[in-house]
Amino acid sequence: MWTVSENILDLASIHHKETIFTIGNGYLCTRGAFEESYPNERRATLIHGVFDDVPVAFTELANAPDWLGLTIFLNGQKFSLQDGVLHQYERTLDLKSGLLKRVVRWQAPGGQTATLIFERFASLADEHLLALRCRILPEFDGTIEVRASLNSNMDNEGVLHWRFLDQRLIPTPQGQVAALRVRTRKSKIELAYAMRLDVKINAHQNNQPEYWDVESIPTLRVARAVRVGQNVEITKFVAIATSRDSADPMSLALRHLENASDFETAFSAHTRAWEDEWNRCDVIIEGDEEAQLAVRFSLYHLLIAAPRHDNRVNIGAKTLSGFGYRGHAFWDTEIFMLPFFTFTSPHIARNLLEYRYLTLPAAREKARRAGYEGAWFAWESAATGEEVTPTWVPDFHDPKKLARVWTGDLAIHISADVAYGVWQYWQVTGDDEWFARYGAELILDAAKFYASRAEWDAQRQCYTFSDVIGPDEYHDHVNNNAYTNLLAQWNLQIALETLDWLKQHFPTQAQTLTERLRLTPESLGKMRDVAEKILILEDENGLIEQFEGYFKLKDVNLSDYEPRTRSMHEIFGIEEANHYQIIKQPDVLMLLYLLRERYDQKRIRINYDYYNPRTDHTYGSSLGPSIQAAIACVMGDVEDAYEHFLRAARADLRDVRGNAGDGIHAASAGGIWQAVVFGFAGLRVHGGEWAISPRLPKQWKRLSFRFWLHGKQHIVDIP
C-alpha cells in the first residue's frame, strides 16, 4: 500500500483533502489545492523559516505566492469541475515517489471532451525545484489554451504578508522565463520565483509561450489548434529561492531552473532521492492494509516537512501542510517526531536539535525575564525561539469571546522535553562530538533553569514546582505536576552526569561550559539538591498523582457521555473541566513511557489502569492515542493497543476531529512510528545494544523496519 487516493470529487471536504494531498521536500510544502481555483479553497505553499509578524500579533509562516496556477480553456471554455460534465475523476498521491496525480475526463458545457492528466512534485533531489505537468488528450478538433501563472496575491486566511517587488521576462537558452520577486512586510524576507513553460504536441517541442505582464501575477500563455487524438503536454517548472538562502535569491532560482531539463529527467532524480529515504525509513506491515498505509502516510508527511539542509528551522505542529498553529514548533518535535528521525535519519534529527541550540539566547531571555536562570524554551517557537504562544484565542463555546492560553506562561516541562530529545539522540547515535559541541549545553542550561525555578517547601522539606501546566491541558495552574517534577529531576540528574562525562572526555569543552553557564560548586550543589528532594506524589502501591489535589477532583465515567462527537473540554467548558479527573492526553502515562526503564511493570500497570479510563481518547488531544498504544503494548494489552493505534492512524486520513484541514497532526504521525517500533515491536536500546519484544496484533503477518544505532544500520524482521 503506497497510495492515498480518491475517485469521487467532494468539494465539501476540500480542506481535508488539501492537507492529505500535500507535497513537499523538506524546504517547502504545497497543499493539495487544484491547479484551477475553487471558492473556499485553502491554497497554500509554506516555506521553512519564512515567518512574518505583521499584521498578526504572533508570527506566522507566510503563505507564499502560488506556483500551481494553471487555467485551461477548451475551445474558449474554462476548465472547472463545477461546470460541464465530469466523466472520470481520480486523484492519487504516491507516497513512494511523492507524486500527486489527477486524471479527469471532462466535458465542457459546449460538448467538447478531453482527458486531462495533472502530475506534480516538489523535487527531493533539488529542493528549490517544483514541477507540474498537464497532459491533455482532446476528443475534439478546436483550440486549447493554457495560462500558467505565479500569483503573489496570497494571504493567510485574510492576512496579507507580501509586498510586491517586481516581475519580468528573462530570455534563457531553454526558453522564456517569467520571474517574480516579493518580500514579507515586516521580516523582510525576499522570495524569488522563476517559471518556465515547456509545451509539446505529440511529443514535439513547441516552445513559444506568450508573456502576459499582469501585475503581481506574471503569466505565460499558450494557445494551440488541436485535433482529436493529439497529445498536448505542458510542463511548468518553477524554481524558488529566498533571501534566507542567498543574498541574490533570483540568481539562485534561475540556476535551479536551468538545471531542470525535462519532466522525466527531473522526476527520475526525484524518485531516486525518495528511494534513498524509504530505504532508511520504511516500515513494512503485512496482513493489515490500513495500518500499512497509515504508517507510510505518517512517515511521508514527516519526511516532506523535515529540513535536510537548514538547522535554523523546526517542524511545526501541523508540519508545512496547513495554517494550524501558524507553523510554530512545540514539544511535539522532541517527544513525538524526533525519535523517528534519530533512529532513521540522524542528519535530520541533528538539524532539529541544532535549531534548539540556536534558540538558546531566546530561551535564556525567557527564563531571565521570569526571574530564573538557565534556558526556558518557548512553548511555541518560530524563527528566533522567542515565546510566540498566543495569550488569547477565540473560545470554542462562543468565538466572540476570548479564552486565555496559559501554556506559554506555565508549561515549564518544555526544557526537559528538549533535553530528552538531545539525550536520546546521543544514546542512539553515539555522536560524542556533536553531544559535546551542542547537546551538553542544552541539557545543562535546561537543568539550570529547573534548579532556579524550584521552590523550597520548608514544611515538607522538599522542592516543588507550583503554578504549572503539564501535558494534560485540561488542568492549568496546578502544583507539582508529576510529569514536570519527574522529568525535571531526570534532567538535573543527566546534566550532572553530562558534566562529569565532559570533564573526562572533552575537558576543554567542560571548562568552557563551566565558565559560560557559571556552573559554580554552589549551582551544581543546588542541582543535586533539587534532584534529590523534588516532591514526588506516589503512594505505596506506586500510583502517581498527576498533580497535587488531582485525586480530590470529581471523578468521571466517560461512558456516561457516550455517544459523543465533542471533546470533554467542549462539553464541560474550560473552567469546569479543571474540576474533574478527566484528562486530555497521557500525562503520568507519558512520563512512565518516557522513563520506562525506571519503572517496573507493576507500577506502570497500576497507573495505566487508573489513568486510561479517565483519558479523553477519541476527542482529546491527537497526541494521546499513539502513546497510549505504545504503553498498552508495554502492558501486553495488544488489543487495547491496537484500538488506540487505529485512533491515531485515522486522525488525518479520516479526519476524526474534523480539523485535518488545518494541517497534518505531526505529533500523532511521529507517535505512530513509536507505537509500531517501541510498542508492537518492543524495540529497546541500551548503549550500542538492542533488543525487541514483539507483541503484534493478531492480523499482522509481518513487521519489518530499519534503524541506525551507533552508526550501524539494523534490520528488524518479525514474521
Residues binding ligand IFM (CB under 6 A): 317, 325, 330-332, 471, 473, 621, 623, 667
Instruction: Give the CA distances from residue 459 to residues 138, 455, 477, 478, in Å, rounded to whole numbers and listed in that order.
Output: 84, 12, 21, 19
**Least Å from the CB of residue 407 to ligand IFM:** 7
Nearest to 301 by CA among 284, 286, 315: 315
Sheet architecture: strand order including 28-30 = 23-24, 28-30, 45-47
**Least Å from the CB of residue 659 to ligand IFM:** 11
User: C-alpha angle 702/703/707, rounded to 5°?
Assistant: 150
CB 125 within 8 A of CB 273: yes
**Least Å from the CB of residue 328 to ligand IFM:** 8
C-alpha grid cell for residue 145?
489554451
Nearest to 264 by CA among 128, 72, 102, 135: 135
Locate cell 535536510: which residue?
A: 308
The number of angstroms, rounded, from the C-alpha of 267 to the middle of its chain's C-alpha atoms is 25
User: C-alpha angle 476/477/483, rounded to 5°?
Assistant: 70
The type of residue at 361 is P
Which lies closer to ligand IFM via its Cβ, residue 175 or residue 390? 390
Which lies closer to ligand IFM via its Cβ, residue 324 or residue 679? 324
Nearest to 339 by CA among 102, 717, 699, 684: 684
State the DSSP code for 517. T
**Least Å from the CB of residue 329 to ligand IFM:** 9
The type of residue at 192 is A
Rg (CA), the chain: 27
CB 491 within 8 A of CB 416: yes
Locate cell 486549447: which residue?
A: 144
Nearest to 286 by CA among 697, 707, 706: 697
Catalytic residue among 127, 380, 473, 545: 473
**Least Å from the CB of residue 324 to ligand IFM:** 8
Cα gap 298→622, rounded to integer Å: 13
**Least Å from the CB of residue 475 to ligand IFM:** 13
Cα gap 383→402, rounded to integer Å: 26
DSSP sequence for 322-381: SSGGGG-B-TIIIIIIHHHHHHH-HHHHHHHHHHHHHTHHHHHHHHHHTT--S----SSB
Cα gap 307→316, rounded to integer Å: 11
Which lies closer to ligand IFM via its Cβ, residue 66 or residue 332? 332
Which lies closer to ligand IFM via its Cβ, residue 281 or residue 317? 317
**Least Å from the CB of residue 331 to ligand IFM:** 6
3-state SS, residue 162 = strand
User: E strands within 123-242?
Assistant: 129-138, 142-149, 155-156, 159-160, 162-172, 175-184, 190-201, 204-205, 210-212, 219-226, 232-242
Which lies closer to ligand IFM via its Cβ, residue 524 or residue 592? 592
Active site residue 473: yes
Is the previous residue joined to 625 through a cis bond, with omega within 30 degrees of 0?
no
User: For the chain, how far is it from start to end, CA to CA, in angstroms?
Assistant: 18
Which lies closer to ligand IFM via its Cβ, residue 421 or residue 471? 471
* 584 CB burial (10 A radius; 0-12, 13-18, 19+): buried
Nearest to 620 by CA among 665, 672, 555: 665
Positions marked catalytic: 473
